[in-house]
Amino acid sequence: MKKRTLVFLVSALAFTAHAEIFILDFEGDLGTFLDGKSGDTYTTSQNGTTLEITLAAYGTTGIDGFNLTGTGFGINNSESGDDTDAFDDSEYMTLSFNLAGTFQTLELDRMTGGDGDAGSLEFFDGSTTDFSGSFSDPLSIDEAFSKDQIITLRQTVGGSGTTWGFGLEEITVDVVPEPAVVSFIGLTGLGLLIARRFLRGEPGKARGVGQ
């Protein structure tokens, strides 16, 4: 019975360090928050986990503004012919997270094989995923990122206007809350201590019964 109780305890401790999946909707709440801004920190919470995303928009003239319309989410810069609800003419954004995790998927719109457009998702001091209209959407990234690591989404090939560029729809990330990690380490240590005492105590108890 004690062994079963101990196994249950260790299993419960392992479950403490849960991961939380966030779907960041740039054509919904997140896009509404960023609309008209060049950069800011967006905060969202679920199941007791708070995720902070720091974002900034860049165009041909430097820092430009995010723009949400009824047809998409992109970057609006002052250049003539700019498509205001897309990433075109080498526009890019940077983002970082206050928690470490895994960048799971990237969902875009207007990425069709006929427009010859392309882009990239770059992890500072890490890997780069290049994509074009021939890639399936959403794009499976599965790249681990550290706390505050800079991630860049940019258009790499193509010009400006409605025949170029892509819109940003959703990003899915999987993060591990820092308090859960601390609790997991601390409680696991406690569990191991209990296990050690339990295993040491059994022979002694057996000897006491036989005396």
On whether both 56 and 100 belong to a single domain, the answer is yes
On whether both 9 and 24 belong to a single domain, the answer is no
Residue 81 has pLDDT above 90, yes or no: no
Which CATH number belongs to the domain containing residue 129 in this structure?
Answer: 2.60.120
On whether both 143 and 207 belong to a single domain, the answer is no
On whether both 45 and 12 belong to a single domain, the answer is no
- 100 belongs to a structural domain: yes
pTM over 0.85: no
- 181 belongs to a structural domain: no
pLDDT digits (tens, 9 = 90+) for 114-141: 556 789 999 999 999 999 877 778 999 9
Residue 200: its H or E element: helix 178-210
- What's the number of domains the chain is made of? 2
Distance between CA 157 and CA 163 in Å, rounded? Answer: 12
On whether both 9 and 32 belong to a single domain, the answer is no
On whether both 70 and 145 belong to a single domain, the answer is yes
On whether both 64 and 52 belong to a single domain, the answer is yes
Domain that holds residue 197: 1-18+189-211
pLDDT digits (tens, 9 = 90+) for 8-51: 344 444 444 589 999 999 999 999 999 999 999 999 999 999 99
On whether both 13 and 83 belong to a single domain, the answer is no
Distance between CA 200 and CA 209 in Å, rounded? Answer: 15
Instruction: Record the tokens describing residue 65, joined without a space.
Output: 């503004």
